[in-house]
Amino acid sequence: MNDIYTFPKDFIWGTATASYQIEGAWNEDGRGPSVWDTFAHTEGKIDDNTTGDKTCDHYHRFKEDVALMKKMGLKNYRLSLSWSRILPEGKGGVNQKGLDFYNDLIDELLAAGITPFITLFHWDLPQALQDAGGWANRETAYLYRDYAEIVTKALGDRVKNWMTHNEPWVHTMCGHFFGNHAPGLTDLKKALQTAHHMLLAHGLAIPVIRKNSKGCRVGLVNNLEWIEPASSSERDKAAAARHDGAFNRWYLDPLFFGSYPQDMMEWYGEDVPQIEAGDMKIISTPMDFLGVNFYTRRIMAHDSQGNFLNCRQVRYPFMRKSDYEEWENNAEGLYRLLIRLKEDYNSPELMITENGTPLQDKIENGEVHDPDRIDYLYRHMGAAWQAIADGVDLKGYFVWSFLDNFEWCLGFTKRFGLVYTDYESGKRIVKDSGRWYEKVLKTNSISL
Ligand code: FCB
- Name the residue type at position 356: G
CA of 354 to the centre of ligand 1 (A): 8
Residue 341 predicted with pLDDT over 90 = yes
Q: Look at residue 95 in the predicted model and tell me its pLDDT.
A: 98
Q: Look at residue 387 in the predicted model and tell me its pLDDT.
A: 98
Q: Are 114 and 76 in contact (CB under 8 A)?
A: yes
CA distance 38 to 233: 45
Residue 80 predicted with pLDDT over 70 = yes
Number of Cα atoms under 13 Å in the Cβ half of residue 116: 26
pTM: 0.98
CA distance 267 to 252: 17
Give CA angle at 439 (295, 335), nearest 5°: 30
Query: What average pLDDT is seen over the chain?
Result: 98
Q: Look at residue 3 in the predicted model and tell me its pLDDT.
A: 87
Per-residue pLDDT tens digits for 40-62: 999 999 999 999 999 999 999 99
Residue 2 predicted with pLDDT over 90 = no
Helix (H) or strand (E) run with residue 338 in it: helix 331-344
Q: Please pick, among 167, 225, 228, 407, the residue that the annotation labels catalytic.
A: 167
CA distance 138 to 127: 16
CA of 409 to the centre of ligand 1 (A): 11
Q: Look at residue 1 in the predicted model and tell me its pLDDT.
A: 54
Q: Are 348 and 341 in contact (CB under 8 A)?
A: yes
Per-residue pLDDT tens digits for 205-235: 999 999 999 999 999 999 999 999 999 999 9
Ligand 1 interacting residues, C-beta cut-off 6 A = 18, 21, 166-167, 170, 223, 293, 354, 400, 407-408, 416
Environment class of 171 (CB within 10 Å of its CB; exposed 0-12, middle 13-18, buried 19+): buried
**Residues 429-440, mean pLDDT to the nearest whole number:** 98
Residue 91 predicted with pLDDT over 70 = yes
What's the N-to-C CA distance of the chain in angstroms? 7
Write the CA distances from 159 to 8, 21, 79, 110, 168, integer angstroms: 24, 21, 12, 9, 23
**Residues 158-167, mean pLDDT to the nearest whole number:** 99
Which CATH superfamily is 5-446 part of?
A: Glycosidases (3.20.20.80)
Task: Please state the domain extents for the chain.
Answer: 5-446
Q: Look at residue 25 in the predicted model and tell me its pLDDT.
A: 98
Judge whether 149 counts as a catalytic residue: no
CA of 233 to the centre of ligand 1 (A): 33
Atom of ligand 1 nearest to the CA of 408: 10
Question: For residue 423, how far is the Cα from the chain centroid?
Answer: 23
Residue 163 predicted with pLDDT over 60 = yes
Judge whether 43 counts as a catalytic residue: no
Per-residue pLDDT tens digits for 234-288: 999 999 999 999 999 999 999 999 999 999 999 999 999 999 999 999 999 999 9
Atom of ligand 1 nearest to the CA of 167: 8
Q: Please pick, among 23, 108, 225, 354, the residue that the annotation labels catalytic.
A: 354
Q: What is the DSSP string of 13-76?
A: EEEE--HHHH---TTSTTPPPBHHHHHHTSTTSSTTS--SSSTT-HHHHHHHHHHHHHHTT--E
